[in-house]
Amino acid sequence: MRFEINRESERHLPDKDLQACGLFGVMNIEGKRFGGEMAIKAIVNMRARGNGLGGGYAVYGLYPEYKDYYAMHIMFQDRNMDAKKKVDEFLSRNFDIVYDEEIPTNPEARVMYPPLVWRYFVAPKKKGEDAKFSDDDYVVAKVMHINTSIEDAYVFSSGKDMGVFKGVGFPEDVAEFFMLDELYEGYMWTVHSRFPTNTPGWWGGAHPFSILDWTVVHNGEISSYGTNRRFLEMHGYYCTLFTDTEVMAYAVDLLMRRQGLPIEIVSKIFAAPMWDLIENMDEKKKKLYTTLRMVYAPLLINGPFTVIVAHHGEMFGITDRIRLRPITAGARGDLVFLSSEEAAIRAVSPKLDLAWTPRGGEPVVVRLKRKDHLMSLKESV
Amino acid sequence: MKTYMLPEFIIERSDERCIRCRVCERQCAQEGHWYDEELDVMFHNEETCIGCQRCVVFCPTRALSVRPHPSTYRPNANWTREKLQDLKKQAETGGVILTGSGNDKPYRIYWDHLVLNASQVTNPSIDPLREPMELRTFLGRKPDGLDLKVSEDYEDVEIRSELYPNVMIETPIVFSAMSYGAISYNAFKSLAMAAKEFGTLFNTGEGGLPKSMREEFGQNTIVQVASGRFGVDPEYLNVSAVMEIKIGQGAKPGIGGHLPGEKVSINISETRMIPEGTDALSPAPQHDIYSIEDLSMLIYALKEATNYEKPVSVKIAAVHNVAAIASGIVRAGADIVAIDGLRGGTGAAPKIIRDNVGIPIELALAAVDRRLREEGIRHKASILVAGGFRNSGDVIKAIALGADAVYIGTPALVAMGCTLCQKCYTGKCAWGICTQDPYLTRRLNPEIASRRLVNLLRGWSHEIKEMLGGMGINAIESLRGNRDHLRGVGLEEWELNVLGVKGAGE
Ligand code: SF4
Ligand code: SF4
């Protein structure tokens, strides 16, 4: 659930969610699109990592026919039509809506409390003051508005040529509900299975968590949450979900989208090398890593986590610096896989050219038309 | 005038154990013991005893005990013994009552009402004996972000942003300002040696840095520029690691300092750059700082004098509107804000001020950290807090409330021998710390005292690592401002709100 926030003192902020999870991601690095079967089959293989209280998918290369428009997937809790009316009005005021429709669903699927989920393809309609915003920042502001101000409405995703499908249930049930194996294709899929220790029946709380075309699926329980959250607040990101994932997503947005740092650097901020290691680097590297740790100390992500972050053309996976959560990578032909478990990769591709386990804090970066994922091979365990 | 005051301490000597070695006589700085050769008897004088326990510790046969004097007035919750004694003292002297050390009144100690978290199941705790546990801390201004130029293969990275000077310390604990003059050369040097060995900092206070120590200890020194400007010269600034403008002190907010001429020996006069034997008077305000703009000018004057290579700290006492003042200080260009709380120590202060002015450091810290975050400038300055830290638990709670590092003064003195007798202002410290009497200072051996100080830092650092590991954190920066790891016990609603901490079980 989202929370009404009393900011008189931060002691009124809710506690954050605790959860464990299974993650999987696959990309065709030549950009060839494929269906949802692999993602579904892989996550089913890791059933024990979820408990049926959340599953979700992010698909890239989803809407080639509308690829110039922001695709908004918006859910309406309890099929609240009043909320839908407000969103429709809000969107038509601020965007040109090129096309919209209900996302087709299968009523037979075993999911709990399905909301109404709608998709809109929109182009920003910036007026006056707004002109100084980039399109992306404009969209972010509008998404934040819907999420925080229109009750019962929540934006699943808001990027171009991509979309998030998620809900409460096992991931295979969510896939069945949205008919992912029949209706959609993409060149990259990430998927998440959730094991929350509390029981929110709210679809917005499932992963992937997304803003613009960025999606985050995450497994972990970060002990630096409070420090991270406060730093992000200082940069204008107000957490409303109180999950580690939200913090990760905002940190990625701040560092990668707003400050333009590549993941090779960002991973060294999230999972900074130990000082002992830094001491032994050559002078130039030593200076770089010392500076990174000094400047971005509040964004060190401490405690166990694995995260797979994706946006167009790029997907990366990383674990915390002392590797308290698992991640495995695999490659076969043009397909590159990231997963919580190797077994899940083998379930969809029994034969692999490569399979490796990266070291703690060492990112596996998968990019379109590049072989960057091989960089992490030499750093594997 | 006959004094009507009761003795504060009673001295008891077991005549059976006493071997007439006269150690107590030599150790006491108050002429508390003497020997009568004819009678072969040791006598003592309770009128002068200040309860420093020096004689007790050094008596080879454990023949002595010194404890609060049992004679008392009729018990009265309002008119306590201390209040009555103070009244009598003033009736006899007509003066301001002086004291040393920190506020000893039972104001609420918030550290004792805050408890820490630990990991269970969902998040493993980390064993500091097996895994790295990092306490390294940087003091100084941080940029908003980094502008990096990254090569095509991501291998070569160029830092293009302008960086501000930062000082690295190996543990988030530094020694508070204690001036050469207020404390002995040996005590001063012990602090410097310990700071250097452990990779942290000590603070010169307002008494300058002796020339002989500059080269060896400069890089572990926070040099103070206070209202009297004693000992400030370009070299003093340039050898330092950090420069600190002292506006106020927790033990005596709003007033200056006074080092009596008797203490201004030749060495101290050289270091302070004042004539030998003259009183060293620090005015209450800095007379070139009557506003925040003036402060800014001094900050930049110091930076200018040192080529913008060192962070500048501004130290204030924790007073009512400390958050707004701290914000102004950061905006004026300070790289570090040092806040000294209600329980901060001193070598000499009017008792009435020490006991009644200022606010507790816990509340001040929480308010300042919150204000700086709300204004989006928390990263522009480090927060150093001082005033009453008693153990590593207090330190780690301060970090979780938002401090970058903690100043310790009293714990360092106690490690060197101090027993908090509160008579620092008399200049007759039997432990050789707060005195310039060569007979007394000689007893403090810097080799040994610095070892005691290093042991203290090591012990506390180990304990902090244990507690961090328990919370599933392996670098101190992930606890900084992480109030989620604190809970309050026995606090009122408003106190929890100010601290920004939930109550236990909430
Ligand atoms: S002043 Fe100290 S040394 Fe002297 S008698 Fe009292 S306790 Fe002993
Ligand atoms: S130090 Fe102890 S043994 Fe020696 S004279 Fe004093 S009381 Fe007696």
Pocket test for ligand 2, best of B12, B15, B16, B21 (most atoms within 8 A of CB): B21
Domains of chain A from N-terminus onward = 16-380 (3.60.20.10)
Provide the mean pLDDT of chain B. Answer: 95
> Which pLDDT belongs to residue A200?
61
CA-only gyration radius of chain B, Å: 24
Residue that has been written with the tokens 């020694």 in this structure: B175
The CATH label, of 3.20.20.70, 3.40.50.300, 2.60.40.10, 1.20.950.20, for the domain at B167-480 is 3.20.20.70
CA dist A199 and A207 (Å) reads: 14
Q: What is the ipTM of this complex?
A: 0.88
Q: Model confidence at B309, in pLDDT bands (50, 70, 90)?
A: very high
Q: Which ligand is nearest to the CA of B429?
A: 1
3-state SS, residue B335: coil
β-bridge partners, A101: A119
Angle A69-A244-B504 (CA atoms, 0-180°, nearest 5)? 145
pLDDT band with cut points at 50, 70 and 90 for residue A242: confident
Nearest to B480 by CA among B491, B469, B468: B468
Residues A172-184, mean pLDDT to the nearest whole number:
95
Q: Tens digit of pLDDT for each residue in A259-283?
A: 999 999 999 999 999 999 999 999 9
pLDDT at B363: 98
**Residue with token string 């925040």:** B292
Question: How crowded is residue A340: how many other Cβ atoms within 10 Å of its Cβ?
Answer: 28
Which fold, B9-95? Alpha-Beta Plaits (3.30.70)
pLDDT tens-digit readout, B423-464: 999 999 999 999 999 999 999 999 999 999 999 999 999 999
SS (H, E, C) chain A: CCCCCCCCCHHHCCCCCCEEEEEEEEEECCCCCECCHHHHHHHHHCHHHCCCCCEEEEEECCCHHHCCCEEEEEEEHHHCHHHHHHHHHHHHHHEEEEEEEECCCCCCCCCCCCCEEEEEEEEECCCHHHHHCCHHHHHHHHHHHHHHHCCCEEEEECCECEEEEEECCCHHHHHHHHCHHHHCCECEEEEEEEEECCCCCCHHHCCCEEECCEEEEEEECCCCHHHHHHHHHHCCCCCCCCCHHHHHHHHHHHHHHHCCCCHHHHHHHHCCCCHHHHHCCCHHHHHHHHHHHHHCHHHCCCCCEEEEEEECCEEEEEECCCCCCCCEEEEECCEEEEECCHHHHHHHCCCCCEEECECCCCCEEEECCCCHHHHHHHHEC
- Is the shortest distance between the CB of B18 and ligand 2 below 6 Å? yes
From the CA of B19, give the closest atom in ligand 2: 3
Average pLDDT over residues B470-491: 96
How far is it, in rounded angstroms, from Cα B64 to Cα B66? 7
Spatial distance between the Cα atoms of A285 and B21, rounded to a whole number of angstroms:
64
Count the residues in chain B.
506
DSSP code, position B240: -
Measure in Å the smallest separation between the Cα of B119 and chain A Cα atoms: 9
Residues B333 and B347: their CA atoms lie apart, in Å, by 30
> Closest Cα to atom 6, ligand 2: which residue?
B24
Q: So what's the pLDDT on residue A2?
A: 44
Does A324 sit within 8 Å of B500, measured CB to CB?
A: no
Supply the residues of A annotated as catalytic.
21
**Measured from the CA of B61, which atom of ligand 2 is nearest?**
3
Question: What's the confidence (pLDDT) of residue A30?
Answer: 96
Whether pLDDT at A197 is above 80: no
On average, the pLDDT of chain A sits at 89
Say if residues A380 and A356 touch (Cβ distance below 8 Å): yes
Q: Which structure tokens are listed for A320?
A: 């915390």
Model confidence at A202, pLDDT cuts 50, 70, 90, reads: confident
What are the residue ranges of CATH 3.30.70.20 in chain B? Answer: 9-95
If residue B138 lies in a helix (H) or strand (E), which one and from where to where? Answer: strand B137-140
Residue intervals of chain B classified under CATH 3.20.20.70 are: 167-480
**The pLDDT of residue A1:** 37
Q: What is the DSSP secondary structure assignment for residue B244, as one 8-state letter? A: E
Among residues A90, A82, A149, the alpha carbon closest in space to that of A120 is found at: A90
Least confident of A215-219, B20-24, B222-226: A215-219
Q: With bands split at pLDDT 50, 70 and 90, how would you rate the model's confidence at B411?
A: very high
Mean pLDDT of the region A212-231: 90
Q: What's the confidence (pLDDT) of residue A324? A: 84
Does the pLDDT at position B382 exceed 70?
yes
Q: Which residues pair with A153 in a beta bridge?
A: A76
Q: Report the pLDDT value the prediction gives residue A20, as an integer from 0 to 100.
A: 63
Residue with the smallest CA separation from ligand 1 atom 1 is B49
Task: Choose the closest CB to B124 out of A20, A293, A324.
Answer: A324
